[in-house]
């Protein structure tokens, strides 16, 4: 009797295990199908257009809710503000921990974890990437904006952005020529998981500093602007949510303004550029509906009409982005999925922002005094920094090309 009961029990256990295994297989298969369908959607033209529409709507809305004019989102400007808040520079009008940047990294991290793309990796010429990040920021602050802000400035009627975007395309085109000649920073290597968590952990730390606003010594950090662009910001939770949404979508679609121009020049591929174009058109329509379009060159908010240095500043930024393999937004998204080399580029940009303001390298906006426009632009030192950056980037481009002998061909 006991033996029969034991046999029966074993059979029941076996049947139960089979049922559980079958259910798991069915669930796992359905889960895989859903994941694959989402991946295909995000990789499609519709996916990249969705990201363009999302940014094109949300960035002007952030401006309406309190972010600076024509600066609903600007990766370079926002990283500069974070550098100021941490006391890395003392330009009092640009100091604030921007939750959008935090959201970009955390949103990308969530997407990478959900789709099993969180892959910690390092080792692709990190010091070179740091230098490229520094000069990319110096170039962007000479223009007063990153590629995203250039598009948003144009969508708000700032015609100076045409010079900036032209410079950006020129710099990327030069970078593409280096790519054609074998330019390569070397491969990255998988590393310890803890390395991939460093940038998300830094962003969470910044979020705590933003929420609790501690002051570590009298008259010391954390700093928050009382006037100027740094004092203008949308509500924290809204900004953070927008950053997370964009970070998630951009990680899935590989959205990149530099990559869009590079792919058109290098391969004639218009996939990424369709998202960038959608961003511009959608932002323009949204700005029209919100009454935020003011067409002209002079007197634009946080902008200068010195055309030569608008062009050259963004040419430097574009070249640095091309050599580093991504625009500033893309570098944040990559750092969120565990790319330590992209994180080094981000740190380089924040350091570049500190240098730009501590050494008076950044551009100064136009001013209207008694009805007369006083054109801003760069100081002599700022002009020299842009030229130096171009020279350094060209040296990097020429010196880091793989020859046939080196590749064994």
The 3-state DSSP class for residue 339 equals: strand
The residues, any chain, with a CB within 8 Å of residue 399's CB and separated by 6 or more, are none
Backbone angles phi, psi at 400, to 5 degrees: -115, 50
Structural domain including 139 reads: 44-407
Does residue 101 lie within any of the structural domains?
A: yes
The β-bridge relationship of strands 121-122 and 367-369 is unpaired
Q: Percent of the chain having pLDDT more than 70?
A: 90
Looking at residue 38, what is its pLDDT?
Answer: 87
Does residue 1 lie within any of the structural domains?
A: no
Asked if the model's pLDDT at residue 62 lies above 80, the reply is: yes
Token couple for 388: 């130096």
Does residue 290 lie within any of the structural domains?
A: yes
Residue-by-residue DSSP string for 143-157: HTS-HHHHHHHHHTT
Does residue 33 lie within any of the structural domains?
A: no
Cis status of the peptide bond prior to 222, with omega within 30 of 0: yes
Tell how far CA 142 is from the center of its chain: 18
Number of domains in the chain: 1
Looking at residue 236, what is its pLDDT?
Answer: 98
Looking at residue 322, what is its pLDDT?
Answer: 98
What's the average model confidence in pLDDT over 291-311? 96
Looking at residue 29, what is its pLDDT?
Answer: 53
Looking at residue 112, what is its pLDDT?
Answer: 97
Does residue 120 lie within any of the structural domains?
A: yes
Looking at residue 51, what is its pLDDT?
Answer: 97
Exposed/middle/buried for residue 87 (C-beta within 10 Å: 0-12, 13-18, 19+): middle
- Looking at per-residue pLDDT, the higher value among 24 and 224 belongs to 224
The three-point CA angle 360-366-371 to 5° equals 140
Looking at residue 12, what is its pLDDT?
Answer: 43
Does residue 15 lie within any of the structural domains?
A: no
- pLDDT, the chain, mean: 92
CA distance 340 to 327: 16
Does residue 9 lie within any of the structural domains?
A: no
pLDDT in tens, 369-404: 877 888 999 999 999 999 999 999 999 999 999 865
Cβ neighbour number for residue 359 with a 10 Å cutoff? 14
Does residue 153 lie within any of the structural domains?
A: yes
- Looking at per-residue pLDDT, the higher value among 1 and 353 belongs to 353
Asked if the model's pLDDT at residue 13 lies above 70, the reply is: no
What's the average model confidence in pLDDT over 184-207? 97
Exposed/middle/buried for residue 17 (C-beta within 10 Å: 0-12, 13-18, 19+): exposed
CB burial of 33-48 (b: ≥16 within 10 Å; e: otherwise) equals: eeeeeeeeebeeeebb
What's the average model confidence in pLDDT over 360-376? 90
CB burial of 153-174 (b: ≥16 within 10 Å; e: otherwise) equals: bbbbbbbbbbbbbbbbbbbbbb
What confidence tier does 368 reach under pLDDT thresholds 50, 70, 90?
Answer: confident
CA distance 155 to 75: 17
């Amino acid at each position: 009797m006991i033996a029969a009961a034991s046999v029966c029990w074993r059979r029941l256990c076996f049947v139960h295990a089979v049922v559980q295994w079958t259910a798991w297989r069915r669930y796992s298969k359905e889960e895989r199908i859903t994941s694959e369908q989402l991946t295909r959607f995000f990789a499609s033209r519709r996916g990249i257009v969705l990201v363009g529409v999302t940014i094109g709507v949300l960035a002007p809305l952030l401006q309406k809710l309190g972010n600076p004019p024509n600066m609903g989102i600007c990766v370079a400007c926002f990283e500069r503000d974070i550098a100021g808040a941490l006391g890395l520079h003392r330009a009092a009008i640009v100091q604030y921990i921007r939750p959008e940047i935090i959201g970009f990294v955390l949103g990308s991290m969530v997407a990478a974890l959900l789709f099993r793309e969180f892959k910690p990796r390092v080792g692709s010429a990190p010091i070179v990437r740091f230098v490229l990040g520094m000069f990319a920021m110096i170039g962007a602050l000479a223009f007063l904006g990153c590629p995203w802000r250039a598009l948003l400035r144009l969508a708000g009627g700032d015609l100076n952005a045409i010079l900036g975007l032209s410079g950006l395309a020129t710099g990327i085109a030069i970078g593409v020529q280096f790519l054609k000649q074998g330019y390569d920073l070397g491969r990255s290597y998988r590393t310890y998981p803890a390395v991939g968590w460093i940038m998300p952990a830094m962003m969470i730390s910044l979020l705590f500093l933003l929420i609790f606003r501690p002051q570590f010594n009298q008259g010391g950090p954390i700093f928050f602007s009382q006037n100027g662009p740094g004092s203008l910001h949308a509500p924290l939770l809204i900004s953070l949510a927008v950053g997370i949404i964009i970070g998630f979508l951009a990680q899935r679609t590989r959205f990149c303004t530099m990559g869009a121009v590079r792919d058109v020049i290098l391969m004639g591929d218009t996939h990424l550029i369709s998202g960038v174009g959608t961003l511009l058109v959608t932002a323009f329509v949204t700005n029209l509906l919100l009454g935020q379009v003011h067409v002209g060159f002079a007197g634009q908010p946080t902008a200068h009409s010195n055309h030569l240095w608008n062009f050259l500043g963004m040419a430097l930024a574009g070249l640095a982005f091309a050599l580093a393999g991504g625009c500033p937004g893309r570098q944040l998204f990559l750092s969120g999925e565990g790319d330590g080399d992209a994180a080094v580029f981000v740190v380089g940009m924040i350091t570049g922002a500190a240098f730009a303001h501590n050494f008076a390298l950044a551009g100064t906006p136009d001013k209207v005094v008694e009805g007369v426009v006083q054109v801003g632009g760069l100081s002599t030192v700022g002009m020299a920094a842009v030229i130096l950056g171009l020279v350094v980037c060209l040296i990097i481009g020429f010196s880091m090309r793989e020859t046939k002998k080196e590749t064994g061909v």
